Amino acid sequence: MNRLDAYGLGVSVAARLPGPLLPVGVLAAAAASTGSMFTTATLVAAALVGMSISAPAAAALAERVGPRNVQLVSAIVHVLMLVLMVTSIERLTRQDTITSNAVIYVLLLLFTVLAGLSTPATATFSRARRWTREPGPATPSRSVRSGLRAEAALDDGVLVAAPLLVAALSFGFGPTAGLLCSAVLTAVAVPLYAVAHADPTPAPAEATRSALGGVEHAQQVLLEHRGLAPDRPPGEAAFPDAFELPAAEGAASTGGVRGMAAGILLAAGLGAVLGGLWITVLDSAQALARPSLFTLTFGLIAAAAVLAARARSQAFPSPLLLRRRRLHAAALLTLSVMLLATVALPSGLTGFLLLSTHSVLTAAVLGRLSIGLYAGMAVAVSADRLPIALSAASGGVLLGLALGVTLAGIAAEELGLGFSALVCVAGGLLAAVVVLGGQLWGSPRASGARPARTPFG
């Protein structure tokens, strides 16, 4: 890799970081400054709601004003909202302000939602370039498949790096350093990326980047197995006409309303478990001398989910992988119930380490279930419904995550330490009911267990 390629990669990574930095930065800043799990949870949920709309909204606006203008304007708004958030969080903890805490809290919620809405959609526009860029003298001829694999790897990488960066900054500069770092990265890296990649082609509408590790890789593998990410450079030969998918547990009839509803419920259950883990780990870390240690656990949680989803992904979507969804759902429910015993241990460093280990194991199961969810789409969702199914799954994860964080924050605030783990149990139970109920994509009951030929492209 020459210096120019290394510079471009560095700018791309830095421009992607503000997205995953936002929820982790809000968790660190709000928890340390206010000490309230309810306030922290509702702020994180507000950020997630805004982020769930940011990428589709940016893609729609790009069709009217162009990707570069959208990126530059979103960078300006995002930096402004982050600065206002930091100022509001500091004022919320001061007693000498003339503004009531209720007014500051409402304004902080508004700023957080707008920060989520204005999150730079760097990954979305970068993917659009992978689909449309023609190879030329200055551009190496790379296939769409290899380009999208690189995109998924970058997204997974920043998802793991963001909490580790917040941890390092919090140890050295304070709890709001993560949000301020995100503002600096947005102000510098996003305009550099927008100017360097000022392609006139707008980005296609796609699902928001997910906060659950492994989902990006699962989406990429799904596109490859459906022939939608060809191993050819852009502009060369077209996709093959048709291929036969493996005779998995289900045929191509589960992409209807019941299959879609079951997929959304499973995605929401996975998101709820992740949200409950976030608040449970955060709440446990408040008893430590260094509460910011929770960010290290967050990084391990993301890494475990990513590695578990990428393990043996060449078996996607084999019948064995689909059948193992039942085993993974049962394991998720078991680990969620066992979490109740883990949080009952005495607070302190030992209890936090045990809780962190338990959370990492749970995250690994979440990663396997996420790839099992998308494997079901590969054998059971028709090509014309695949974009809707992808958006529904990503939306379900973010919806469950926002709801799980909120409910876990309320439980921790009103009932005490450890009760946020009940949200993990509820999410695990929902996932187990959906998987064992036989209505999910690729389930034999829902599809009649018939093999099917599914056209690619």
Give 325-346 pLDDT, tens digit per residue.
999 999 999 999 999 999 988 8
Question: So what's the pLDDT on residue 253?
Answer: 44
**Structure tokens, 201:** 């082609």
> CB neighbours of 21 closer than 8 A, spacing ≥ 6?
162, 165, 166, 178, 179, 181, 182, 185
Domains 1-209 and 211-457 alike in fold: yes
Tell me: pLDDT of 457 over 70.
no
418-456 core/surface letters (b: 16 or more CB in 10 A; e: else): bbbbbbbbbbbbbbbbbbeebbbbbbbebbeeeebebeb
Give how far Cα 262 sits from Cα of 19, 373, 439, Å.
Answer: 28, 10, 6
- CATH number for domain 211-457, candidates 2.40.10, 2.40.160, 1.20.120, 1.20.1250: 1.20.1250
Could you tell me which of 211, 178, 185, 186 has the C-alpha nearest to residue 33? 178
Q: Which residue has the higher pLDDT, 203 or 172?
A: 172
Question: Residue 159 and residue 23: Cα distance in Å, rounded?
Answer: 11
Taking only the tens place, the pLDDT of each residue in 242-275 is 333 333 333 344 456 788 889 999 999 999 999 9
Question: So what's the pLDDT on residue 206?
Answer: 57
Give how far Cα 192 sits from Cα of 3, 48, 121, 321, 359, Å.
Answer: 16, 26, 14, 42, 37
Taking only the tens place, the pLDDT of each residue in 290-301 is 888 899 999 999
Whole-angstrom Cα Rg for the chain: 22
> CB neighbours of 76 closer than 8 A, spacing ≥ 6?
none
Taking only the tens place, the pLDDT of each residue in 427-446 is 999 999 999 988 888 886 65
Mean of the per-residue pLDDT values of the chain: 82
Domain ranges of the chain: 1-209, 211-457
**Percent of the chain whose predicted confidence (pLDDT) is above 70:** 81
Categorize the per-residue pLDDT at 132 as very low, low, confident or very high, splitting at 50, 70 and 90: low
Taking only the tens place, the pLDDT of each residue in 114-131 is 999 999 988 888 877 766
Question: So what's the pLDDT on residue 127?
Answer: 78
Tell me: pLDDT of 215 over 90.
no
Question: So what's the pLDDT on residue 331?
Answer: 96
Question: Residue 102 and residue 112: Cα distance in Å, rounded?
Answer: 15
> CB neighbours of 249 closer than 8 A, spacing ≥ 6?
319, 322, 323, 379, 442, 443, 444, 447, 449
Give how far Cα 338 sits from Cα of 254, 322, 335, 428, Å.
Answer: 33, 25, 5, 11
Question: So what's the pLDDT on residue 60?
Answer: 83
CB 188 within 8 A of CB 76: no
Cross-strand partners of 454: 243
Name the phi and psi angles at 368, rounded to 5. -70, -40
**Structure tokens, 275:** 């949200």
**Structure tokens, 419:** 């009760």
Taking only the tens place, the pLDDT of each residue in 217-246 is 888 888 777 777 666 554 443 333 333 333
Q: Which CATH architecture has domain 1-209?
A: Up-down Bundle (1.20)
Could you tell me which of 327, 314, 310 has the C-alpha nearest to residue 246? 314
